[in-house]
């Protein structure tokens, strides 16, 4: 994660000289390889400095992309094209910076990796489409079908999933109770990476299902986790053993099994 030169290096360590950052990241590599030298300094400081560098560089990269999206919108507006152009902004994944004891992506289905932006900006000529924010989680699997629906393409959508358009009703207000596809996230077993207790994907395939404000995570053959996304959005307190868990573990397991088998389920994308 190396932001381009220029005014986009907005965050802390991103402005430091490149050689200094590389030296700090090499110390971090030695820390993780258990080969830290005495002259490298305090291990906690080595870890903290490297994570700060990675996070600041990542956020500066996002600032750069944000600026480019702004340029795109400005040019479309200058050309008079926004009236008949739909713009969708989303992302493939988030990034961990030691929140669960590891760095990177493609290693878990925790919120830090799977909660990504989704902006759907309809053509300015479509005044019939409601504007607003949908707070409930939805699945990107439904995005292609949504675009086909919003563009009023007559032929049936060839894409899997359901349109998210029912989340907006004809009165212009949001109707989050309309069901869409269940919000399922998956990551495969990382067989090429050494088994590490803190990194879920090195232990086995991992799946997550969101239901009624909670996320159920199943790490096959290893463990199960449940987090209350309203009370604990950073997923710090695993409530899998909580009394009166609702939905129950039995129901979570059954719903996940039904979805993976392609059978109907009562779970709503909420």
Interval 53-93: pLDDT, tens: 999 888 888 888 888 999 999 999 999 998 888 899 999 99
pLDDT category, 264, cuts 50, 70, 90? very low
Burial of 87 (C-beta count, 10 Å sphere; 0-12/13-18/19+): middle
Taking Cα atoms as reference points, which of 112, 52, 99, 268 lies closest to residue 198?
Answer: 99
Per residue in 31-61, pLDDT (tens digit) is 988 999 999 999 999 999 999 999 988 888 8
Q: What is the mean pLDDT of the chain?
A: 85
Per residue in 138-162, pLDDT (tens digit) is 889 889 988 888 887 767 778 888 8
Residues above pLDDT 70, as percent of the chain: 87
- Residue partners of 187: CB distance under 8 A and separation at least 6: 106, 107, 108, 109, 200, 201, 205, 206
Residue 90 Cα distances to 65, 119, 175, 230, 254, angstroms = 12, 6, 22, 23, 31
- Residue 180's pLDDT is 57
**Sequential DSSP letters for 41-103:** --HHHHHHHHHHHHHHHHHHHHHHHHHHHHHHHHHHHHTT-GGG--EEEE-S---EESTTS-E
pLDDT category, 215, cuts 50, 70, 90? very high
- Residue 60's pLDDT is 86
Q: Is the model more confident about 118 or about 270?
A: 118
Per residue in 245-254, pLDDT (tens digit) is 988 999 999 9
Per residue in 5-15, pLDDT (tens digit) is 666 566 677 67
- Residue 217's pLDDT is 97
Residue-range domain boundaries for the chain: 1-79
| pTM of the model as a whole | 0.82
Q: Is the model more confident about 233 or about 124?
A: 233
Cβ–Cβ < 8 Å for 220, 206 = yes
Cβ–Cβ < 8 Å for 166, 175 = yes
pLDDT category, 174, cuts 50, 70, 90? very low
Query: Residue-wise over 34-57: b if at least 16 C-beta within 10 A, else e?
Result: eebeeebeeeeebeebbbbbbbbb
Is the confidence at residue 167, as pLDDT, over 90? no
pLDDT category, 132, cuts 50, 70, 90? confident
Distance CA 99, CA 94 (A): 12
Mean of pLDDT values over 93-99: 93
In the three-class reduction of DSSP (H, G, I as helix; E, B as strand; rest coil), residue 218 is classed as strand
In the three-class reduction of DSSP (H, G, I as helix; E, B as strand; rest coil), residue 206 is classed as strand
């Amino acid at each position: 994660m190396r932001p381009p030169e220029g005014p986009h290096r907005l965050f802390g360590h991103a402005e430091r000289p490149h050689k200094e950052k590389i030296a700090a990241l090499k110390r971090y590599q030695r820390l993780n390889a258990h080969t830290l030298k005495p002259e490298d300094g305090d291990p906690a400081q080595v870890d903290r400095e490297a994570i700060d560098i990675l996070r600041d560089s990542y956020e500066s990269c996002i600032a750069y992309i944000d600026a480019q999206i702004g340029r795109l919108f400005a040019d479309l507006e200058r050309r008079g094209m926004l009236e008949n152009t739909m713009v969708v902004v989303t992302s493939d994944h988030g990034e961990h910076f030691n929140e669960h004891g590891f760095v990177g992506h493609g290693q878990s289905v925790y919120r830090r990796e799977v909660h990504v932006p989704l902006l759907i900006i309809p053509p300015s000529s479509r005044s019939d489409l409601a504007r607003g924010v949908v707070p409930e989680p939805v699945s990107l699997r439904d995005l292609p079908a949504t675009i086909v629906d919003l563009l009023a393409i007559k032929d049936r959508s060839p894409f899997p999933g359901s349109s998210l358009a029912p989340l907006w009703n004809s009165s212009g207000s949001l109707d989050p109770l309309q069901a869409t596809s269940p919000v399922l996230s998956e990551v495969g077993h990382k067989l090429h990476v050494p088994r590490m207790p803190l990194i879920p994907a090195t232990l086995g395939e991992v799946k997550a299902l969101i239901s009624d404000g909670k996320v159920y995570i199943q790490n096959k053959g290893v463990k199960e986790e449940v987090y209350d996304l309203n009370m604990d959005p950073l997923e710090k307190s695993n409530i899998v053993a909580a009394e009166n868990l609702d939905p129950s573990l039995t129901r979570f397991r059954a719903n996940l099994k039904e979805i993976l088998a392609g059978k109907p389920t009562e779970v709503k994308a909420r």
